[in-house]
Chains A and B, each alone.
Chain A
């Protein structure tokens, strides 16, 4: 058949237009389906991000739910960088997924804005009892659960054992009750500072980016709070708050951390440890598989230090259902199912993450990679208190994170004094929760 140029261009345009328009709209998915709440009575959409191990655990849990319920779950895996811009756009367009994964420090923003499903009417009596108190507190908003705590993670100290031994640091805590005090940590850091060359430092702390909430671990260790008990005002300008600022500021003035280990730095603390610029780094258990496959030196882990008490960040993620889901009962059933013992154990052991179920915490789990380190991270997670995790679930956490970043940057890089920083934190948090 002969084609004129006009016919050819017309045909190409007709064929290309739908593809071009398809490229403009919607969001790519792992299984080719588009995102958005399902209309079918027995179908759910579930948007998440995750490592390969996490996705494998989630797929197994979802398959288990599909078999038991007869429902279909469309698992939509997106890169973390796109996750919440996608979710926000879908919510704004009135087309959100039925279920999605969310960090605890972001959970409050959605729950407080009325975008999540109140699970109270959909969960069986006593459902809360399956979780640790601190995990359950992290998914509350106004006294009601708006999600389920799927897993947690918290920071312990990863150690370059040969480097520490070379510096004479050999007394490393192996039991939670023997964890270093702040003074012990200072002594270790001073020893390392004296023995390391100028371009190496004793440790690095993982407070970069949204990890700034991990600074709160020092506040909790000093038995402080950043919000009042009803989460309505600041409580950080206290003896504990000032002690936490003063001690962490000394990391920079004493040369215990690299100058670029700031809260806004683009270099993550863990990379600094990988590069052997520091022999110690605070890190979550999630990094164990990566470290094991990357590092060529002997490494271990120990507990984070304590002051008045132990304290740590309640990291990890919740699973939530959106307020507009067409299938609230089914969505709640999925959330309950993926937090069953078998699903949570398989997920946490495969991905080196910590369970939120009380029974699994009590029994213990065994990581697939470096199982010897699981007790360290489980022990570290046990010092997190419900009063700590409940504060991080504040609906105003997004604004509070910005306040923490600004004020700690001023203290660490700008040399702002302790009293001014504590006052700045307090004023900023007061504005944020107003």
Chain B
């Protein structure tokens, strides 16, 4: 173990408390390598650093610069300082998109992680046709976002969609999946979950392989119930995977575009408009590219803020057996 105990007070077993001599060297006490080793390390890192700088950091800096311009993308823009950011403050569609994006993230992230963990635990056990069910859940990962969204349109089309067909066949009134704001938002969430749960399950399955059977055995001997073994052994021990998935899900959710764009186009009445679809509409339809870049920068800051908060508050991100 390399982490302090993750078990809360009252836990029946203290499975995570490490012995002092098992702790690894802290970063501050890391052995300093020779100059030759450092050179080799930087040589190996250089290609990635160059690519990172060229294709991530440089475009980021460029986007920030564009966000200070009034430009349609053609020719030189006009420097307007922070005007684009000031415009955001009074833009109702922007705030609607912020709320939608946040709500989408707040629903999809925990739901996809919970469903993914549940599926992983189920499929980690001795379930019949385990391989088949794993494949079924992972399969959506192989489908592109646009194709997934097109499938979503077929399912949620309120005229001829599969779902409303079933609902009506049961004698119930059809749901306005496309013309009702709340229903449209729900349809986007459901399709995203279908698409993303497999990825979460896969990561959790991998994490579960690293949880030793002896921990469960010890907990069982101490009288822990199945729920307690899940809550106090499984959940803490997959902490690093949870941290990874949380960050990835938050980033994916803040960046959601293809599913919303294809399924609802942000409508009806901006009920499903999210920051990226709004930035796209602004940048490539209205051609207000400076303003669109400002929306993109705000999105980046929001993502960084959420990640930083979670980074500082996660106690189990580095927990390993």
Is A260 among interface residues, defined by CB-CB distance under 8 A?
A: yes
Q: Are B267 and A262 in contact (CB under 8 A)?
A: yes
Neighbouring A residues of B81 by C-beta, 8 Å:
none
Q: Is residue A267 within 8 Å, beta carbon to beta carbon, of the partner chain?
A: yes
Count the B residues whose beta carbon is within 8 Å of the partner chain — how many?
A: 28
Say whether, besides A266-B153, A398-B286, A277 and B266 are in contact (CB < 8 Å). no
A170→B168 CA distance, assembly (Å):
31
In-complex Cβ contact of A260 among B73, B179, B266, B287 (8 A): B179
Q: Tell me if B265 and A266 are in contact (CB < 8 A).
A: yes
Query: Per a CB cutoff under 8 Å, which of A113, A267, A399, A402 touches B75?
Result: A113
**Chain A residues whose C-beta falls within 8 Å of the C-beta of B287 in the assembled complex:** 109, 398-399
Tell me whether A246 is interfacial, beta carbon within 8 Å: no
- Residue of chain A at shortest CB distance from B267: A264
Q: Shortest Cβ distance from A407 into chain B, in angstroms? A: 11
With both chains docked as a complex, state the minimum distance between the C-beta of A207 and any C-beta of chain B, in angstroms: 13
Neighbour of A258 across the interface among B158, B168, B264, B286, CB < 8 A = B158
CB distance from B200 to the nearest CB of A (A): 26
Please determine whether A409 and B269 come into contact, CB atoms closer than 8 angstroms. yes
A399 touches B268 (CB 8 A): no
Say yes or no for B74: interface residue by CB 8 A criterion.
yes
CB-CB < 8 A to A262: which residues of B?
178-179, 267-268
Q: A402 vs B286: C-alpha distance in the bound complex, in angstroms?
A: 7
Which residues in B have their C-beta under 8 angstroms from that of A275? 159-160
A264 touches B266 (CB 8 A): yes
Bits for B147-172, please: 1 = Cβ < 8 Å to A, else 0: 00000010001111000000010000
B73 touches A272 (CB 8 A): no
Distance in angstroms from B274 CB to nearest chain A CB is 14
- Neighbouring B residues of A265 by C-beta, 8 Å: 178-179, 265, 267-268
Q: Are A113 and B174 in contact (CB under 8 A)?
A: no
| B159–A272 CB distance below 8 A | yes
What's the nearest-Cβ distance from chain B to residue A305, in Å?
Answer: 23
Listed residue (B75, B159, B281) with the most chain A CB atoms within 10 angstroms of its CB: B159
Identify which of A85, A401, A402 gathers the most chain B CB atoms within 10 Å of its CB. Answer: A402
A14 to B279, CA, bound (A): 39
| Contacting pair B286 A199 (CB below 8 A) | no
A258 and B74 in contact, given A265-B178, A398-B285, A398-B287 (Cβ under 8 angstroms): no
B293 to chain A, nearest CB (A): 13
Question: A414 contacts which chain B residues (CB < 8 A)?
Answer: 269
| Bound CA–CA A410/B174 (angstroms) | 23
Residues on B with C-beta less than 8 A from A199 are: 159, 168, 174
Is residue B65 within 8 Å, beta carbon to beta carbon, of the partner chain? no
Q: Known pairs A259-B178, A272-B160, A413-B267. 5 more at Cβ < 8 A?
A: A260-B179, A264-B265, A266-B264, A409-B267, A414-B269
Nearest 7 Cβ contacts at the A-B interface: A264-B267, A260-B178, A259-B179, A275-B160, A113-B74, A277-B159, A264-B265
Q: Which chain B residues have a beta carbon within 8 Å of chain A's beta carbons?
A: 72-75, 153, 157-160, 168, 174, 176, 178-179, 262-269, 281, 284-288
